[in-house]
Amino acid sequence: MAIVADVKGTKSSPRPRRKRRPLKTSELIARDIIHDIAEGGLQTGDSLPPEAAMLQHYQVGRASLREALRLLEVHGLVQIRAGAKGGPVVGSASAENLAQMLTLYFGIAGATYEQLTEVLLYIYPKIAEDAARQKLTKAQQAALRESVEQACGTSTPYMQRTENLKDFHFLLSEYSGNNIVAGLFADAVAMIFTEHVITTIDSSDFHAVSAADHQEIADAVLNGDGPRARKAMLDHTKRMIKFYRSKNPGIFAQLIEWR
């Protein structure tokens, strides 16, 4: 282990590494179950082995196995179906499940909705730029254009317009080529901001501006212009945050709540 020198040139001892808490038996089982799901190519809704088979396979007691399954169920990665033909089935690594978990972590860390906007300003432009650098299929291009066209319509109800605007961002995440950062984390953060801030405010006054911004972003993405897509998304995100802050400034200082 290297020894570092301080500002006076004298040698000082390195900081001791924080010891990791050893995993409980149930946590080890939960980890093994996830590995087995991934390695086995199981999909959402597929049944896991019955309890007796899992007890034998993982060589643990019933209490530890059930605790492991409950741990995974809390995070939406496993679902426990009731009834004679019930039992554990594979859940989903979805942005919705991650968003719910993140609100707990953000809350205990003392994070506010203002700090959440900083994440949006960082990650949204990156997603738009990455999507522009991808070679989109004709179907993907058509879906992006349709999302913009639907959002630009004025005859649809408010909530439908809101969903169309939201779908546009999810499409960009899907097309960015990064399923982890964009498909999960970015969408999870966006869901928290949408459910906790956007849906609490009448944003009809901002709809036309947002739709126009989406058109500009989509044009840049479809033309493969990464820098333009990045700038257009950054400008759009700034305008969006400014609008909602003007409507309800108090909420931005609040701690992120679990919902």
Is the pLDDT confidence value at 137 over 50? yes
Query: Are 84 and 119 part of one and the same domain?
Result: no
End residue of a domain, out of 90, 125, 143 = 90
CA–CA distance from 242 to each of 195, 218, 238, 248, 252 (Å)?
Answer: 17, 22, 6, 10, 11
Is the pLDDT confidence value at 154 over 80? no
Query: Are 110 and 200 part of one and the same domain?
Result: yes
Count of structural domains, the chain: 2
List the domain range (segments joined by +) for residue 165.
96-252
Confidence of residue 158 (pLDDT cuts 50, 70, 90): very low
How many whole angstroms separate alpha carbon 91 and alpha carbon 77? 4
Distance of CA 257 to the CA centre of its chain: 16
Query: Are 86 and 100 part of one and the same domain?
Result: no
Is the pLDDT confidence value at 240 over 80? yes
Residue position matching structure tokens 């200082």? 253
Query: Are 134 and 69 part of one and the same domain?
Result: no
Query: What's the sign of the alpha-carbon dihedral 228, 234, 240, 242?
Result: negative
Query: Are 189 and 219 part of one and the same domain?
Result: yes
Query: Are 56 and 82 part of one and the same domain?
Result: yes
Is residue 29 one of the residues assigned to a domain? yes
Q: What is the pTM of this model?
A: 0.78
Query: Are 200 and 107 part of one and the same domain?
Result: yes
Confidence of residue 156 (pLDDT cuts 50, 70, 90): very low
Query: Residue 198 sits in a domain of what CATH number?
Result: 1.20.120.530
Is residue 3 one of the residues assigned to a domain? no
Query: What's the sign of the alpha-carbon dihedral 177, 180, 186, 192?
Result: positive
Is residue 12 one of the residues assigned to a domain? no
pLDDT, tens only, 62-92: 999 999 999 999 989 999 988 777 889 999 9
Is residue 126 one of the residues assigned to a domain? yes
Query: Are 103 and 155 part of one and the same domain?
Result: yes
Q: Chain-wide mean pLDDT for the chain?
A: 87
Confidence of residue 15 (pLDDT cuts 50, 70, 90): low
Query: Are 100 and 85 part of one and the same domain?
Result: no
Output the six-digit token pair for 107. Answer: 């809350």
Query: Are 124 and 225 part of one and the same domain?
Result: yes
Query: Residue 44 sits in a domain of what CATH number?
Result: 1.10.10.10
